Amino acid sequence: MGNGRWDSSSWTAYAAGTVKGRTRSQIFTSTDLAEEFDPARIKVRESRDGPLNPAATPIVLASDVTGSMGEIAHVLMRDGLNTLATEVYERKLGGDPHVMVMAVGDARTDRAPLQATQFEADIGLADQVRRLYVEGNGGANDGESYSGAHLFAALKTSHDAYEVRRRKGYLFTIGDEPIHDGMTRDQVKRVLGLDVEADISARDAIAMASRTYEVFHVVLCNEGYAGGSRAGLDRVMRSWKPLLPERVMPLERVDLLAEAVVSAIQVAEGQHKDAVAASWTGKGNGTALVVANAIGGLAASGRGGGVRRLGA
């Protein structure tokens, strides 16, 4: 998929009729998991080069939608998708964005612990995001099943960026909770429809995804579990940092999610963190400082000051 190309004018017209002035419940009306987004029914999601997108770059945004985290989906629909696509184009980040959105929940408790749109390059993505089921459940068990997103990316996506050009895509999980330590065989079968020989740890799931994706995690440090107390935030950071050393991004404002993601891609493409953060100064409202704090822990290496790459 992903045969179109993002156009801000088309987005403005689309948003005026479907998003602007509407509440989360008015935008996201699905009451159950749709078959088209059910990872157990999906054979593969593909990001392919085409005439309008000759250098397709897959970008996966895998967001926690449990509890108050349904707000992330609302943020993406209000302006986040438009900001992400237009900034990737304008900043010339080495390719044409093909974006997939995943909704992440809890494989231990939820009816829909994972959902996945197609890779899309135009506003058709927004229509798919609106049809996701924002379950808002999650278990009171100090974590969510972010590993489902890592395993889906590793086992059920295919993209020309890597297969043709040996360039990795980008995978961002986003949320406010610790990560459950992987998924059991039974959970992998139920959620992804795949038979595996043994349970898969969170570390192994990330390693599998890292073969073809640059993997990051965005901690919403002032929201939900992480924002409830300093102890909560500390538990979240202790959960993630050993798994993704120097790839964890503490984000202080959920409305600047797209800017943080774009900035991480810029750093991964070799730009210096200080220059990337400073590039948002003109937007005002403290954006540059929030971005600087989010990307400040990314490990720099090489002449360009880009992020140190994980895996092969």
Q: Are 127 and 99 in contact (CB under 8 A)?
A: no
Per-residue model confidence as pLDDT tens digits over 163-219: 999 999 999 999 999 999 999 999 999 999 999 999 999 999 999 999 999 999 999
Whether pLDDT at 137 is above 80: no
Q: In this structure, what token pair is assigned to residue 125?
A: 């993505």
- For all residues of the chain together, what is the average pLDDT? 89
Phi, psi of 294 (to 5 degrees): -70, -40
3-state secondary structure of 96: strand
Eight-state DSSP code of residue 74: H
Per-residue model confidence as pLDDT tens digits over 213-261: 999 999 999 988 898 889 999 999 999 999 999 999 999 999 999 999 9
Please give the full DSSP string across 27-61, using - where no structure is assigned.
H----S--GGG-TTT---EEE---SS-TTEEEEEE
Residue-range domains of the chain with CATH: 8-307 (3.40.50.410)
CA torsion 225-227-230-234 (nearest 10°) is: 50
Per-residue model confidence as pLDDT tens digits over 98-124: 999 999 999 998 999 999 999 999 989
- The pLDDT, as a whole number, for residue 249 is 97
- The pLDDT, as a whole number, for residue 65 is 87
**pLDDT band, residue 138 (cuts 50/70/90):** low
3-state secondary structure of 38: coil
- The pLDDT, as a whole number, for residue 1 is 55
Nearest to 249 by CA among 167, 303, 304, 171: 171
Whole-number Å distance between alpha carbons of 261 and 243: 19
- The pLDDT, as a whole number, for residue 215 is 97
The answer for residues whose C-beta is within 8 angstroms of residue 41's C-beta and 6 or more apart is: 35, 193
Q: In this structure, what token pair is assigned to residue 10?
A: 């088309």
Q: Are 187 and 80 in contact (CB under 8 A)?
A: no
Average the pLDDT over 30-36 and give the result: 92
Q: Are 310 and 214 in contact (CB under 8 A)?
A: yes
Whether pLDDT at 309 is above 50: no
